Structure 1
């Protein structure tokens, strides 16, 4: 079964397999290996962003569709959970209904955008999706009676997933609380969604998508309906992004325009795809892990480095934690220069 799953979509390099295993084991064991809430927050964010970035790679890397509306579907999933729990309470049925509603709305919007836009050239499709994303973000901000506006919404979740829920169970010296259960809900859901996407890209459907990406005219000539395949890929990508948004809402217990619909988030997704490598899915694993870790800990590392070099001229100023975005930009430029096909692409080429 595993051989069938990874056929044509496996890591393809021993070093890449090792890195993927490190990420998997790190995420799987975070509550028991790393102390404090920050490590678990970072690990949960990595797991969610792996799914979100991989779903975008399914669209960009495998189908060749450039979209700037992917955060809209992520936001629909999050707001679906928020609205359902606000009206129906904090039960599991509300979570399920909100998630389903967010997925359905995302698929409907993706289908509409695809049917109206996928027949135009790539740059015009990208501009249309950018306009849709901007319009949705403005709409969500203005409908404060429904969405909470700029202030966002707090989310009610089952008590079993909150820090207040405690059990007598202890594993490796760590008490199993609702926060730990919430983390593993996110982790296993993200893992299952990633395996689903691997299965999709290794299937005949996934190979047709890659053929369309390489030469849509030839794919059309040999009998494949390019618009249909692109529409299905767009809807599938939107559904998975909505599920990632629902997981994000359940974990964060808050949703707002800045956390789910911002242009900055769309740029972050693009950066993670480019850093990891387009058209691989495994690039989402490494790209998300590296980017989120840098976001979470680069300032801390820079503060320590600035303190260690305090006696030297100029260097402490350059390593000032307030300049972490500058160093993030430099790291991105270096990654593009040395890994033009992404980390995964470079590792596969060097195997």
Structure 2
């Protein structure tokens, strides 16, 4: 019950984020949480449910984002560009995932992880080098469909002014957020369906004992390749949502190895092999990354008269405290927050 209560609170906050948190920064955090829930859950399909360790997840995320971004820059801010660019990103992700899976999933886990790391590194280098298409290190700035423009009025009063819904303007920014929210929600429910299907059961069997699953007649390599492709497609869809929300795509926002580390941390914090863990892990990590520095600044000012404490709580040391928080979470929740609470009867 505790887990469901936490998820319920997070879900309500995300659903009503434009009304509850009208400032630009808070909406950026809410949209990022929605996208990363999908990204983390899709990665959990690999590492948590199937036992596949991959470092190429950001590559597929980036392909979806770059495909959409390049099409929008070349063709203009139309839905045809979104559909074509997104489709090309999905196709490229599917082809690469199938090739990597069929050629590499036969080897041991550590070797497959190294193959995916190499593939992701090559993709990041290509994004930086092919600057005519990708914008290089500077990335791409582009316009999105008019529906998502802040100047677009979704609802107006008799005087033609934008209506406010509980204080939030009913404009293109709200439309963009709810496009991200409901897009993420649909992708998340698709993954829940996969986990609850016979395919999900086979994947868990492969994770627990690959040799036994093979002996039972399951073609392990094909199943592992299939889920690798599915996870890649979902990650690419998350990239499309990210590109439409940010109106900017670059190596740091879509292909950075730091994003891969964030995904791993979110999976561990939430709990591997639990779809609900992705919601809690992505939310906690995103909130910490955006607001921990602010909290430390307040704490530093509040303890100004105490020796050493203001220096220890200086905002510049937020990464140190983030690391400490992560260590404490792993210590007290060794199976992740959802996994540990479930074992203790909190589920």
- Give the TM-score normalised by structure 1: 0.95
- The answer (yes or no) to whether the contact 2:93–2:233 under 8 Å persists in 1 is yes
Partner of 1:280: 274
Trace 1:219-238 onto structure 2 (pairs within 5 A): 219-238=213-232
Partner of 2:340: 346
- The answer (yes or no) to whether the contact 1:55–1:241 under 8 Å persists in 2 is yes
Deviation at 1:148, TM superposition (A): 0.6
Deviation at 1:159, TM superposition (A): 1.5
Partner of 1:18: 5
1:158-177: CA deviation from partner (whole Å, max 9, x where unpaired): 11102121241332232201
Q: Which of 40, 55, 66 pairs up with 2:42? A: 55
Partner of 2:129: 142
Q: Which runs of 4 or more aligned residues in structure 1 lie more than 3 Å from their structure 2 counterparts after TM superposition? A: none
Deviation at 1:281, TM superposition (A): 1.2
Q: Residue 86 of structure 2 aligns to a residue in which SS?
A: helix
Partner of 2:159: none
Partner of 1:256: 250
Task: State how far apart, in whole Å, the 2-side matches of 1:117 and 1:325 are.
Answer: 35
Partner of 2:92: 105
Partner of 2:327: 333
Partner of 1:4: none
Q: Residue 157 of structure 1 aligns to a residue in which SS?
A: coil
Q: Residue 67 of structure 1 aligns to a residue in which SS?
A: coil
Partner of 2:298: 304
What is the aligned length? 338
Matching of residue 174 in structure 1 with residue 161 in structure 2? no
Q: Residue 21 of structure 1 aligns to a residue in which SS?
A: helix
Matching of residue 188 in structure 1 with residue 162 in structure 2? no
Deviation at 1:218, TM superposition (A): 0.1
1:132-179: CA deviation from partner (whole Å, max 9, x where unpaired): 111111111000111110010012201110212124133223220100
Q: CA RMSD in A?
A: 0.8
- The answer (yes or no) to whether the contact 2:62–2:236 under 8 Å persists in 1 is yes
Partner of 2:113: 126
- Give the TM-score normalised by structure 2: 0.96
Deviation at 1:190, TM superposition (A): 0.3
Task: State how far apart, in whole Å, the 2-side matches of 1:77 and 1:35 are.
Answer: 28
- The answer (yes or no) to whether the contact 2:22–2:168 under 8 Å persists in 1 is no
Deviation at 1:183, TM superposition (A): 0.2
Deviation at 1:92, TM superposition (A): 1.1
